[in-house]
Structure 1
Amino acid sequence: MRKLAAVAFGAAAVLALGACAGEGAGGGGVEGGETLAPEDVLVGVSMPTQTSERWIADGEAVEAGLEELGYDVDLQFANDDIPTQSQQIDQMITNGADVLIIAAIDGTALGSQLDAAAAAGIPVISYDRLIRDNENVDFYVTFDNYDVGVQQATSLLQGLGILDADRNETGEEGPFNIELFAGSPDDNNATFFWNGAMETLQPYLDSGVLTVPSGQTDFEQAAILRWQQETAQRRMEDLLTSTYSDGTELHGVLSPYDGLSRGIITALQGAGMGPSLADGLPVVTGQDAEIASVKLIVDGVQFATIFKDTRLLAEQAVIATEAYVNGGEPEANDTETYDNGIKVVPSYLLESVIVVADNVEPALVETGYWTQEEIEAGQAD
């Protein structure tokens, strides 16, 4: 509940949203554009899994923000099972949800649910992961996912010494051997992360400053289904056996998520590549500032993560919901980037931050995301 206190929505902001609400929204608007009393509003919140602390925090933060506005909330976690998520959303629609907030497991697997929501006049907010191939996605709240990929690659280049802390080139010519990991192919964000990272790394690959000894440079080769830590560990172990057993040195690994990073690090340490960066462990990147990985960063094991303040993401989802409840439409700050295959979905994008050992305190402790005690323990209270 410590994080939830940060998701506080001022009465002035809520009143302002209500005052500027227009006619209709989403698939016809909530209750045909009529404003509902808070106690009459039911919001269905569908999160992909409880196996990641990130999604638990997201779900609880969204729930807390909605309940603070007086809404009833049906929060469900689908345990990374597509049929379960489909059934949960079906039930939310049956139970009379007025708005749906959905972080999809598979962004292409919810067509019938979206069609049913539209038929019932229920606006759909796609949360962090873009729902694809359907016109009935009304709004998208997320981070600038392409830039997240740029930041992941930038942190790798910084860890290798090719760039300094200000992103200036140092003159290091390498060559540095790296391996590449990508996220789940059914998560639209994974391709944005990959594209941002690869376009940042490509000039160094072209010049020979970076090399990928395995030759596995395609998204399909690097992708880890469902973002599973164990799958990433096995792939890293296989790469070490197939490519590095002859003594070839590995200098860095592009990892797009902290859970994958921990699996990769386990494989590297198991192969005797040093317990820490100071002992020769390759530079490993990450994302989400999960507490276990933040401790590894402080301890000099994982080099970096990308901090996406999901409290702000939850806040935007609640603000968007409030706009729909009041018969209006949420304010977008991007109406060009996120094409889901059928339409460009109006979006609200948030910024992210590279976190390394030197800025853990200002980025994570001073902002109240984690306490110093939690970081030292490597787990949340």
Structure 2
Amino acid sequence: MRLTAITERLAGLGGGKWEVHLKARALAEAGADLVEMTIGEPDVPTPQELCDAAALALQSGRTGYSNGRGEAGLCAALAETYTESRGRQFLPENILCFPGTQTALFAVMQGLAEAGSEVLVGDPMYATYEGVIRASGAEPVPVPLRAENGFRLQADDLTARVTPRSRAILLTTPHNPTGAILTAEDIGKIGKIAQQNDLWIISDEVYEHLVFDDANFVSPLSDPQLADRVIAVSSISKSHAAPGFRSGWCVGPAEFCAALLPVSETMLFGNQPFIADMTEKAVRDGSSVAAGMASRFASRALILEHRLHAETGLVVHRPEAGMFALVNVSACGMDGDTYAWDLLEHGVSVMPGSAFGESLTDWVRVALTIDDERFAKALDRIVAHANLSDRNVA
């Protein structure tokens, strides 16, 4: 059987990273009593007004072909929203629409990286980042995100890994899986490195509207000095609790978007008009559910930290945003993979940190998206598991 090189580059980078989650799902479907804390589904349904908008557009015949850039109304809404939120002007020419952030990332990477080039990316990283980089033929270059620095990318660590083959820096802010938010100072330093080495900056901002408490989100798009080298990607999946609609976009220099347009057209030639109409409403109206989700996720992260610090030797890194928290499980005498599989036998599924990079060997990622009752049940089981007589917990 003859296959292409891309299949080899992506071997092991698909569903294999979600092995614990898939096993947990299978056990639950077979009747096992499990609390699932592996993936980040919003904890509320898609708002009814958005479902109604999609249904109305569908019934109105908005089912024809679109174009490679995206529906005019949605592109205009995004341009207006980004102009207001980023403090500089954006036009529809700065927008390309895609079915979700993942597709946007894939397409953007196809336009920026290729065989022989490198993409600098924080480690830990979202589970699909290595795949979207390798799909282009480029090599991912992990840059450690250290717990002692709040898991925020440090300029010195980045500079040490820049080479003549470096083409782009892939950022996530707010970050998955750590929940860290880059500060304006962080972005300024990263931007200078990008300017000095003629690097693109790709900023995944899908958790922008799930920021906790008094934390502040800052986008590289807001810096006019970086206007010619920053591309942001996002979607309504998290902010509007609409992951199944698969509606996202990229925002960047008009010249880049024009150059990438044939790539988009080759991939999908436009997204679905009835979903674009719903997304336009979502973008123009803002989210009716994001603030509530952020409040609940922040509260659960605080409860997780208090309970595990008070009752076990496990160490929680409390996030500033997003849907997850990290737990260092080394006090149990296990690495994250061993711990995740062992905890699964005690009725809770979590993601091993290794799914997100080598720097999280001793960590697991815990979803904050389950309801409070099940969250409390999971914590009871995690505490009991950590304090088993044969555990080395202080």
Output the TM-score relative to the length of structure 2. Answer: 0.31
Q: Which has the higher contact order (CA 8 A, sep 6+)?
A: 2
